[in-house]
């Protein structure tokens, strides 16, 4: 949840949060919205930034998402990328 604290800074920029499970993404999105944090769930062809951009792992490797992240970087607003539950990327069998 550290990424939510960073999104509350005066000039937070954009934090991308890659989430492995959609149920967890929904929960994190609701928690952030309940805390009145500027956030969105990335959808293909997304152009708008937010302090927190949640993206499911199935979209994170796609060319549309990578173009979106690159656009944020070129604009100078992408500050950090978190991979939530990152230990699962090494321990999951499928």
Q: What is the pLDDT of residues 42-91, one digit of tens each?
A: 988 888 889 999 999 888 888 899 999 999 999 999 999 888 766 555 55
pTM value is 0.83
The pLDDT of residue 8 is 72
Rounded mean pLDDT of 14-28?
90
Structural domains of the chain ordered from first start: 2-84 (3.40.50.300)
Taking CA atoms, 33 is separated from 52, 89, 91, in Å, by 10, 27, 30
Backbone angles phi, psi at 91, to 5 degrees: -105, -15
Rounded mean pLDDT of 23-49?
91
């Amino acid at each position: 949840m550290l990424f939510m604290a960073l999104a509350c800074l005066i000039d937070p920029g954009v934090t991308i949060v890659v989430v492995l499970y959609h149920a967890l993404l929904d929960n994190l999105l609701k928690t952030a919205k309940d805390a009145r944090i500027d956030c969105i769930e990335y959808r293909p062809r997304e152009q708008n930034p937010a302090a927190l951009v949640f993206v499911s792992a199935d979209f994170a490797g796609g060319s549309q998402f990578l173009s979106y992240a690159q656009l944020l970087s070129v604009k100078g607003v992408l500050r950090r990328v978190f991979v939530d539950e990152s230990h699962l990327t090494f321990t999951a069998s499928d």
